[in-house]
Every structure is written in structure tokens, then in C-alpha cells.
Amino acid sequence: MRVFNISRPDDAMRRRLTDKIDNLTKPKGSLGRLEELALQAGLIQQTLTPELRNPCNILFAADHGIIEEGVSVSPKEVTWQQLGHFAKGGAGINFLCEQHGFRLVLVDAGVDYDIPAGHGIIDRKIRRSTRNFLHEAAMTADELDRCIETGAEIVDMVHESGCNVVSFGEMGSGNTSPASMWMHLFTDIPLERCIGAGAGLDNAGIRHKLEVLSRSLDNYRGGDSVEEKMAWFGGYELAMATGGMLRAAELGMIILVDGFIMSSCILAASQLYPEVMDYAVFGHQGDESGHRLLLEAIGAKPILHLDLRLGEGSGAVCAYPILQSAVRMINHMDSFSDVNVTKYFD
């Protein structure tokens, strides 16, 4: 697998950033999370004047062999249909990207359909769907490596266009199943607490999903390495997003993390390179039952809690204006030394 050189931001900048934030014309700490986000952005960019440029939401789409076991109410064809819908501009993520100034980048990672050229969808198809991980590895080690490389390549592309803050989205019927498996394997949270309704399973459907995923875990014939577990139970879009996150951290970009599935991806990325977490801003806590537990397990503090469960990068893009406010705060508020206001605290 590709080697990434991800360094933790130099903490020597922390004191100067904290001093600047504390001396803005407000009671210390009174802008709460905005102050925390401004500090994180300044540390990532190693500057007292952080900036956000040309935000992008990269959406990877792929299908999953495990859907053959009835673990989702969403049929497989919805993946390519929705990807086409994104390309036309009428989906949930489209209005959010337009509202908040994001460029939407669409990538076919492994959709089980031959998507015609000329629709603005980048073709990086590994294979038409992963294999069914109830019976065999979802992807080979070589396919996992190609996914990591491809995710990094797409991030290079947007970075070269001037982007320094990136979110990731996904589309793939049944992809809460691989995300649940990664969550269980990399946190040791009991599998039944990692599984939810996905696109709308009822209680019987959730019980069936747990039974299928439990048998899949029993049938695992791989080793103990992170890479082997990712390949056996993963999805092409999840693996590409993981590679994209690692490359974004390597480039010193701010990573806006979306919901349950993308949180599982940053979890997997952190198993390979723990330093990636320093670059992650968690957009929201979603409505999928395992998401809160996953966020707690990795010590993440989401910005929003709007009961979202759409995916596509929607929660991350929704949270972006809060990050913008944090950056505007540190750059545009006066300090006590600049104006005739008595500083009334130490």
C-alpha cells in the first residue's frame, strides 16, 4: 500500500493562536466551538490568519456484493440512478454544494453499471461491485491498493485547483453494512450496536442484517492487519474515501467528515495513520444508530446534530458555514489592543 507522510501540526503555534483568540473583543471562551475550530484551522495551516479556499465535496459511488443477502431496502440500481441524478444537479447534495460554494466531484469507484461518458462523472471503476463478503473477501489486496491510490489522486486534482478544505461523500446501496463492519473491527464495539436501519430497514430487517453480518464475521479467513480487514469487508467507495482523507492530511488540508459511513472511513484511516485525526473536522452526528457511538469512540465532537442520514457529504457541507464563521472570527474581530475597550479579564 502507498506510504503517506502525515505529520502532526506543529503545536508551537498553539500558544500564539490561543493568545490571539483570547484577546479578541469578547469574554474568553464566549464563542465556544468557533474558538476551538479557529484554533484547529490555524494549527493545520500553521498561521494566525487561516483561510478557506475553493471547497470541494468528492463523492465516490460503488456497489456491494453483500446486498445480495437482503441487508438493504435500497435496490442496487439506485446507485447508478442516483449518481446520474447528482450529475444532473437535482439531488440533496447538489443544492447544498450550490448554496455553500462547493465544487461537487463525482467518481465512479465500482458501480455495477456501465455509465456513459460525457456526464461529468470521473471513471475510476475498479470492478462492477465488490464481492459478497459473507462468502469471500469483498476486494483483493491489489484492489484496495488501487482504491487508496485513486482516492489520493482525486484529492491531488482538487488541491491543484486551489482547494484547501475538502469533504467526502458516498453513494452505494447497502454501504452501511461494510461501514458497520469496519466500526466493529476497529473499535471493538459489539456488532449489534454498530448496525442500524440504513436506508430504512424495519426491526425485522435490522435483525436479519445483524444475522448476515455476524455470519460474515464468523466466516472471516483473513489476518489481523488493518489492510486485510479493510479489504475483506470494505467497499470501493469507502476505500477511495480513506485514501483521499490520508492524502488530504498529507497535503495539510482541512477534512470535513460527513456521517456514519465517512466516519467509518476516517476511523480506518486513523488505524493506518493516527495523525490524520488532527486534520478532521466532524460535520455532524447523524441519525444512524451507531454514529454517536463511533464518534464517542474516537473522541470526535461534531458541529451539528440535525438527525441527518442522507450521506452524500450532506452533513459536512451543511456544517461548513460554522467553520467559515470560526475563520472569520479570528481574522475579522478586533482585539482589545486595537480598540478602546477595557479588557476585564486576565
Q: Which residues are catalytic?
A: 312
Cβ proximity of 243 and 154 under 8 Å: no
Cβ proximity of 58 and 105 under 8 Å: yes
d(CA 151, CA 259): 18
Cβ proximity of 100 and 86 under 8 Å: no
d(CA 123, CA 142): 18
Residues with Cβ within 8 Å of 84's Cβ and at least 6 positions away in sequence, in order, are 115, 119
d(CA 333, CA 338): 10
The radius of gyration of the chain's CA atoms, rounded to the nearest angstrom, is: 20
Residues with Cβ within 8 Å of 233's Cβ and at least 6 positions away in sequence, in order, are 133, 138, 178, 181, 182, 185, 216, 220
Q: Where are the alpha helices (DSSP H) in the chain?
A: 14-22, 32-45, 77-88, 92-100, 141-160, 176-187, 191-194, 203-218, 226-233, 236-250, 260-272, 289-297, 314-332
Give the CA angle between residues 193, 227, 142 to the nearest 5°. 130
d(CA 185, CA 177): 12
- The type of residue at 195 is I
Cβ proximity of 327 and 52 under 8 Å: yes
Unique residue bearing C-alpha cell 486534520: 279
